[in-house]
Amino acid sequence: MLAIRRVTQRASVAFTAATARRFPVGSTVRLLTTTSAQTDRETISRLLYSIGTKREVERYLRIFSASSHPSQPAKFAVIKVGGAVLDQLDELALSLSFLYRVGLYPVVLHGAGPQLNEIIESEGVTPDYIDGIRITDARTLGIARRVFLEENLKLVTALEKLGTRARPITSGVFTADYLDKEKYGLVGKITRVDKRPLEASIRAGALPILTSLAESTEGQILNVNADIAAGELAKELEPMKIVYLNEKGGLFHGVTGQRLDVINLDEEYAGLMKEPWVKYGTKLKLREIKELLDHLPRSSSVAIIKADSLQKELFTDSGDGTLIRRGYKLFKHDSIEAVGPDRIRQVIHDRDPEVQNGTQSVSGVLNDLKKTPYTIYGDEPFDVVAIVSHPPGEIPVMTKFLPSKNGSLNSVTDNVFNSIKKDHRKLFWTAPAEDENRAWHFERADGSFTRAGKSLFWYGIHDVDEVERAVKEMEAKGRIERPYLPVGPSVPPHRLASSTATTGARSYSTFTRGALTQKKAPGSTRGYATAVESTTEKKRVALIGARGYTGQALVSLLDGHPHLSLSHVSSRQLAGLPLEGYSKSPVTYSNFSVEDVEKMEKEGEVDAWVMALPNGVCKPFVDAVDKGSKGRTDGKKGVIVDLSADYRFEKQWTYGLPELYSRSEIRSSTRISNPGCYATSIQLLLAPLLPYVDLRAPPTVFGVSGYSGAGTVAGQTDPDGRPTTTPKVPPDSLHGGIRPYSLTDHIHEREASVHLSSLLTLSPSSSDPAAPVSGLDVETGPGAEDALVRSGGPLKLSFIPVVAPWFSGILSTASVPLKDGIKITARDVRALYEGMYKDERGVKLLANVPDIKEIMNQHGWVFGGCQVHSSGQRVVVVGGLDNLLKGAATQCLQNLNLALGYDEFAGIPLP
């Protein structure tokens, strides 16, 4: 974005033509369509491609350019600029100039609250408010008018310096009556908006810059709240976008602290207003925006963003602030009759590319539906319609996905697709290779490949052999119309661009989604973000093996979870006794047999199972869940998270370390192996250094754990007859020291080696092998998937575990030899960790070596302290975690949250 702003500024100085925007011949618009103006537009358009895909940018430019007509030129956007944003004048002017350079004319209205407060206080006037409304007497109004005019002139001048024509409009637009003269003084309530001065400005090739001052019919100037003025202006102009620029850049979730990405009012407003964290200013803002959007066409939407995010918000699907739209309630029906035969026929006739090119008929499409059970998904106005075929026991196929332009613009596509994902953990679908929304399909797929002008996409399958088997079966049954086999090997993203440039054709691209990060890339889109792309549906968990330290820690976490409830706990020693430490509802320990588990799964009594059992014990229970799920009538399957080592090397299970491996795999999985505590710390500690590791001299990790990591054994009964547990390694047996154990071949050594091997990187791409890391073309952190590939290469590390006399917490120290020719500094090493983990909420980076007190009772992983040997070819780094929390229970809850559709950190009290 910084590069874009710099080039925009240079372009603004170099090009003085107003715009290359085209209106029909005969229009009265005065435009300069010189060669330099066209070059200006093309230059800025190309710069936009760096923040979004070319298809995205061109689509939005086309839609926005077509939104206005010479008879109504002000229908693109109303931008309300908060007073605090006016203090960032250069950023604001550059962002507005950017729009002007691509031929778009927003109507800009600004406030000046902070500036006004500063001046009236300096002049001895104390601001006074009633119900949040500034009481305005004649003296205050005089100051306000002066401040508004000065700020307006500053913005107009800043724009003109950039070669952007702007026109100050400080009166003549808003007519108002007194809101309550006795109570508020000279404060107005807008009764009329005259849009003619705004349209005249745009026809003259200048951006209209307004203040929120109004006049009464008698000519008295009245003060009007700028947000209210922007709303009234939008009601009159009916623009596609209403943008509120503020210093925060959006609305934020009151519990998680995350910015809300999208709010769909028709679907979410009632529930949102009942949320305990939605209060005061947030509740008022939501109410005002809903009232505004209720007056506007459904194609209109509101965005709350920072000034420097304006381009990304307007020209990419992912956006960069909070998008608020009305949306529609969604439907799903299992028959054409329930949807309406005439309506579905019309949608297929108008939107289906195969019907339009003559390869299928509407009747043929409808007849094909009858061959298998199906569900039709969509929204009330049919902006998006999708059809999913789902024969019993087979992977569903989305046979049709038919969005309108409005559905694509307002991301109704995301809402419908998310509804499908809630019902189907696996899905195949196809799309034409030339589909203008191709990037949208790639973003939602876990894998894809293209042949004969069509692309096959899928999610929920992460094994290429399973993909081949599924495609063969669907081809044999006629569920897909083209032979897509064989499935080719994946092409790493960093190679894809070069191969495409050379051949001019897209290669097979299987498993296209990155494994390491979840940062939005160009072309990604918003989903439901009020709940941070998550559900709030209440679900139930059964815990088998609740007696140990990990089980107790998980019980405590579930007690504070906003949506999950612990409905069953099983422990042979504690059967019949009440569960302690859980306050949501009374729970009594059971002693489940495998038959009990099978029956509970078959009847859908729980949504998820947690196996907190010793190694080698849980397989019968897993088999019972598998058997019970086959008898379920709802087609669902209970999620299992296994805390033992039994399934950490099984391909059919998903390895649940979200910070390093694909979160999308965990979200679509029902069988998740929870990593070991030492193994988690080792992998997080070594992953950023993998591109530089000398595989001939593998890393050595020295891990020191509290005695709780050794587990528990049955102790004596307490006075109430309740069985107790005692540490397997009592702290007094250590005599204040430490005790190394399992000196070779510890299972976590193998676990960390195997999974880190799947993330081995290519060598740093530098012509100078001795170049410092800062000069290497190796990416880390968000976007690191372009540098890290699942090569499956071998990494053999050495690991020595040690038990210590504190209760919980692991400190891991790694000594890492580097490849020949690699020179690195401690600052470079630090930058690698900051790059990879800067967006990870569960990772904390310290300046110094962490102390055990900074690790114990913490729910995330902690890194701190790195040094480089004087030779520059060996790095020593330190990290740690609480073995009962991030090493077990907290990580288990992360995996449960992802698999069940919640926010990843729901119920996890991160600082």
The encoded tokens of residue 454 equal: 């069509």
Query: In 141-155, which positions are buried (b, 16+ CB within 10 angstroms) versus exposed (e)?
Result: bebbbebbbebbeeb
747, exposed or middle or buried, with CB in 10 Å at 0-12, 13-18, 19+? middle
Active site residue 618: no
Bridge partner residues of 451 (DSSP): 454
Terminal Cα distance for the chain, rounded? 30
Return the amino acid letter for 829.
Answer: V
CA dist list (Å): 315 to 52, 62, 839: 7, 10, 23
Alpha helices by DSSP H, listed for 295-340, are 310-315, 336-339
Contacts of residue 746, defined as CB under 8 A and 6 or more positions apart, other chains included, come to 678, 799, 801
Could you tell me the sign of the dihedral formed by the alpha carbons of 45, 49, 55, 57, in that order? negative
Contacts of residue 907, defined as CB under 8 A and 6 or more positions apart, other chains included, come to 557, 558, 560, 561, 562, 563, 564, 893, 897
Listing DSSP states for 781-798 in one string gives STTGGGTB---------E
If DSSP codes are grouped into helix, strand and coil, which group holds residue 686?
A: helix
Please tell me the distance from the alpha carbon of residue 850 to that of residue 881, in angstroms, as a whole number.
10
Residue 210: count other Cβ atoms within 10 Å of its Cβ: 29
Please tell me the distance from the alpha carbon of residue 738 to that of residue 756, in angstroms, as a whole number.
28
* Residue 55 contacts residue 313 (beta carbons within 8 Å): no
Contacts of residue 395, defined as CB under 8 A and 6 or more positions apart, other chains included, come to 426, 427, 428, 461, 470, 474
Kindly list the strands in the beta sheet with 221-223, ordered across the sheet, starting from the edge strand earlier in the chain: 188-193, 174-178, 213-215, 221-223
The rounded radius of gyration (Å) of the Cα atoms in the chain is 31
Per annotation, catalytic residue among 618, 677, 866, 892: 677
Return the amino acid letter for 781.
Answer: G
Please tell me the distance from the alpha carbon of residue 677 to that of residue 882, in angstroms, as a whole number.
8
For the chain, how many helices (H) and strands (E)? 30, 37
Listing DSSP states for 489-537 in one string gives PP--HHHHHHHHHHHSSPPPB-S-S-SS-----TT-----TTTTS----
If DSSP codes are grouped into helix, strand and coil, which group holds residue 251?
A: coil
Please tell me the distance from the alpha carbon of residue 117 to that of residue 120, in angstroms, as a whole number.
5
Please tell me the distance from the alpha carbon of residue 108 to that of residue 201, in angstroms, as a whole number.
12
Please tell me the distance from the alpha carbon of residue 887 to that of residue 177, in angstroms, as a whole number.
64
Active site residues: 677
